[in-house]
Structure 1
Amino acid sequence: MHKDLSQLTAALLKAAKANGAEAADAIAVTGTSVSIDVRGGALEHAERSEGVDIGLRVLIGQKQACVSASDVRDETIQTIAERAVAMAKLSPDDPYIGLADASQLATNRDCSTLEMFDPTDEPPAAELEDDARRTEAAALGCDGISQVQSASAAYGRRQIHIAMSNGFEGGYERSDRALSCVAIAGTGSNMERDYFGDSRIFQSDLMSAEEIGLRAAQNTLARVGARKPKTGSFPVLFDERISSTLIGHLLAAVNGGAIARGSSWLRDGLGELVLPKNLSVTEQPHRKRTSGSRLFDAEGLPTAERAIVENGVLMGWTMDLATARQLGLTSTSNASRGVSSPPSPSPTNVSLTQGNQSRDALLKDMGTGLLVTSMIGSSINPTTGDYSRGASGFWVENGEITYPVNECTIAGNLRDMLKSIIPANDARTHLSRVVPSLLVEGMTIAGA
């Protein structure tokens, strides 16, 4: 029987202090995951894992070290503390590290209000297998689908507890339930494939197996007969399934770590227009039933809604305590960490302002161009913002989809691309990143 997570973190802090640490923080994580894959109507793969991981960070002066383990015996905890202190003494000084002051710590730590955990029982493996079978059967029931590459059902739950020598202690529990399907149409060199899936915190919110299989089949059948598009400069519409990657590049560029290193293409962009004036990017860490939600960050600071971009203007960086100190600013409570590494800045839930047009309306407005539904590979220069990715999707003429395309490359510069985006109104609001389909006015397409 595993010890209570709060007991584990308390034991880690006690051992760290006994071995000479001046300050310390500890994290303990326990989790269960189950995944079932079905193929050809038969069970192909079943996996279940359970475990506990612990991590300890010790600070001695301006030196720090992290040690982790998946063994929670008392002797292991003692060994972890001894090694962490020994490593810290040999580490170089870092003038920016340090725990938060007690006055900075979050007081509201009741994460149950965020509804991140489904209290219903873990689904039996047979139920997961049935979901996967039904998903596959729905896809195979569509004329033109030759096979299903995979139909998967999964369940997971995690408990996380953190404690610090400055007096902070808090934890939370998360669950997730997922269904996905990859369908194939055609054979040989004419083979095409696509996918669809859904992941939710609460089982009751999950889409049905039949709908997931049907949508995977429809996405695949739409790709039959794909060929290379024209080469030239055209508008590109990023479908909602992949449009969040564009905002992801923006979030990476405003990460305090990249700014402190001077390695971001937005390093001089604070207070400048980075999006059209009618668009904002808002962080919403308290959104219920959303995977990125949290009341406090990994350093115990209280989280709050904030504008990353407001009316097109870049308002600030995403920072933890160390990067904030390095930049001479205040932490935005965005520290994130695992058991084997110190905190680093990372955003929580993010939403981009939605437009007032549907994706189809944007297609009509773009006239002739490319609708991108999937991308492969990546060549993004984080310092200059130069962008190049392999893409597939559909060619659009006179506002209408004319044929599916593949084997093309789209290229541009993120600074120019983001300033010209036009959003649709089709974002899925339960996702951690709520980003609708995005039209970029002009990009270079390399095709036939």
Structure 2
Amino acid sequence: MTDSTSLESLTEALLAAARRAGAEAADAMAVAATSLSIDTRAGALEQAERSEGTEIGLRVLVGKRQACVSGSDLRAETMYTMAERAVAMARLAPEDPHCGLASPEQLAQDWDVAALELADLGSEPEAAALQEAALACEAAAAAVEGVSQIEGTSAGFGRHAIHLAASNGFAGGYTRTGHMLSASAITGSGTTMDRDHCYEHRIFAADLPSPEEVGRKAGERAAARAGAKKPPSGRFAVLYDERAASSLIGHLLSAANGAAVARGSSWLAGKMGELVLPEALSLIEEPLRPRVSGSKPFDGEGLPTRTAPIVENGRLARWVLDLASARKLGLESTGNAARGTSAPPSPSVSNLTLTPGTASRDELLRDMGTGLLVTSLIGSTINPNTGDYSRGASGFWVENGEIAYPVHECTIAGNLLEMLPTLVAANDAEDHKSRRIPSLLVEGLTIAGA
């Protein structure tokens, strides 16, 4: 049961069961997913996995109380049992004055799913074709000089269809697909081993890079890490490579999340309208970009999505809000609700674009003089109230504007309120990604290395 008509009928049945069980309001979600993945190692198939399933979820409201249930048993009697249990749970739940569905005038109307190009229908590959792609990817990575072994390669496909319906009159759904290739390569041996990888994902199979390109890139990245060592300690400029830069912007988004703001645990509290990035930079949410994995025509509460700045000309322009967090703050939802089948909606962002700079990454390297180029981050210690920042990092040490040697096992630290307004953006953001964030240069972070 995977087509949209079947999913629509499931949500209708859930809503009918909720009404019969005594719910005053309800929304229902049905999700059908198919995935196929092939892993190879040492020139042979290591694992093949295929999964298919349909899951249903129901949220009921009784007064200002709510409860959620989910399951994968699609029989009518099971759905009614779910609805009865949800209503009983809701009657025992504490009151939440901010819960509730959208009013009819808030709901999305006349969206165009086809214009978003979310699904490459009819593109599901055969397992043999995925295995062939993964093996070609592995061979290309292994052929790179300096690569000692291949940790693994993967090729995969996924299709995800959803339908959302609510007692306020909303009903809608869409399907998205994804094609994936990845490789992880190792350089060195024993205690001198280091690794890197390449991961590529596209909605349309025709847009995916070739297996040879993915493998070669993984191999070259790994080989470049041969002989990595700890960098010196001190206060230096840090350039976040495009692969790592989105995590830095992610910390800003976490602080702009309405749920964090409402519970008083955001270092951006009280900063609305103030400079949080350089004046030359804006951070725009773009949920309607065609052919991009984060796009969607409506949010998890049936509200329309729209292009709008989160940061405009360096100044914080809005919070990221669903209905509940907006009500807590006395504001209107920004159409940023996300949800699964087993929990109420919560605020989340879709596609993002940060204003690109005019310089290339190499030009920023030249300008930084001496410092750290970060290509990978591990761990995260962020104080949600103060913005104090500390992360493990690896990458390359830069001297006189040129890469000197690879580094690992170091920590970079600072304060996000001080770091983000100093950002200098490169021009290397990749258009196919949901988050178009270029390489970012930050002045004066503390590096703990050798």
TM over 0.5: yes
Q: 1:130: how far off?
A: 0.4
CA contact (8 A) 1:109 1:170 kept: no
Give SS of 1:130's match: helix
Correspondent of 2:345 among 343, 346, 350: 343
Correspondent of 1:39 among 34, 38, 41: 41
Partner of 2:148: 146
State how far apart, in whole Å, the 2-side matches of 1:143 and 1:425 are: 30
Query: Structure 2 regions of 5+ residues with no counterpart?
Result: none
Q: 1:110: how far off?
A: 3.1
Give SS of 2:11's match: helix
Q: Which runs of 4+ in 1 moved over 3 A?
A: none
* 1:166 counterpart letter in structure 2: N
Q: 1:374: how far off?
A: 0.6
Partner of 2:160: 158
Give SS of 1:131's match: helix
CA contact (8 A) 1:368 1:397 kept: yes
* 2:67 counterpart letter in structure 1: A
CA contact (8 A) 1:395 1:402 kept: yes
State how far apart, in whole Å, the 2-side matches of 1:130 and 1:138 are: 12
Q: 1:120: how far off?
A: 2.8
State how far apart, in whole Å, the 2-side matches of 1:371 and 1:179 are: 26
Partner of 1:329: 331
Q: 1:119: how far off?
A: 1.5
Give SS of 1:379's match: strand
Counting only pairs closer than 5 Å after superposition, residues 128-277 of structure 1 correspond to structure 2 as 128-277=130-279
Partner of 1:112: 114
**1:33-65 deviation digits (Å, cap 9, x = unpaired):** 011000011000111100000000000110000
Q: 1:375: how far off?
A: 1.2
State how far apart, in whole Å, the 2-side matches of 1:43 and 1:213 are: 16
* 1:191 counterpart letter in structure 2: M
Partner of 1:87: 89
CA contact (8 A) 1:108 1:295 kept: no
Q: 1:109: how far off?
A: 3.2
Give SS of 1:83's match: helix
CA contact (8 A) 1:112 1:172 kept: no
**1:89-112 deviation digits (Å, cap 9, x = unpaired):** 000000011111111111123312
* 1:115 counterpart letter in structure 2: E
CA contact (8 A) 1:114 1:293 kept: yes
Give SS of 1:198's match: strand
Partner of 1:446: 448
**1:144-189 deviation digits (Å, cap 9, x = unpaired):** 2111001000100011000000100000000000000000111111
Partner of 1:353: 355
Identity %: 62
TM-score (norm 1): 0.99
Give SS of 2:86's match: helix
1:420 maps onto 2:422 in alignment? yes
State how far apart, in whole Å, the 2-side matches of 1:60 and 1:264 are: 31
* 2:234 counterpart letter in structure 1: G
State how far apart, in whole Å, the 2-side matches of 1:336 and 1:370 are: 36
Correspondent of 2:320 among 318, 338, 342: 318
* 1:5 counterpart letter in structure 2: L
State how far apart, in whole Å, the 2-side matches of 1:38 and 1:240 are: 28
State how far apart, in whole Å, the 1-side matches of 2:23 and 2:35 are: 35
Give SS of 2:427's match: coil
Figure out how many residues of one structure are paired with residues of the other and give that number. 448
State how far apart, in whole Å, the 2-side matches of 1:357 and 1:365 are: 10
CA contact (8 A) 1:283 1:308 kept: yes
1:299 maps onto 2:301 in alignment? yes
TM-score (norm 2): 0.99
* 1:314 counterpart letter in structure 2: L
State how far apart, in whole Å, the 2-side matches of 1:426 and 1:120 are: 33
CA contact (8 A) 1:385 1:413 kept: yes
* 1:370 counterpart letter in structure 2: L
Q: 1:336: how far off?
A: 0.7
Q: 1:216: how far off?
A: 0.4
Correspondent of 1:437 among 432, 439, 442: 439
Q: 1:378: how far off?
A: 1.2
TM-align CA RMSD: 0.9
CA contact (8 A) 1:282 1:350 kept: yes
Give SS of 1:241's match: helix
State how far apart, in whole Å, the 1-side matches of 2:202 and 2:397 are: 32
Query: Structure 1 regions of 5+ residues with no counterpart?
Result: none
Partner of 2:281: 279
* 1:377 counterpart letter in structure 2: G
Correspondent of 1:362 among 361, 364, 374: 364
* 1:308 counterpart letter in structure 2: I
Q: 1:382: how far off?
A: 1.3
Q: 1:403: how far off?
A: 0.6
Q: 1:376: how far off?
A: 1.2
1:384 maps onto 2:386 in alignment? yes
State how far apart, in whole Å, the 2-side matches of 1:32 and 1:73 are: 20
**1:321-354 deviation digits (Å, cap 9, x = unpaired):** 1111110111101111000000111011111000
**1:115-139 deviation digits (Å, cap 9, x = unpaired):** 0000133100000000000000001
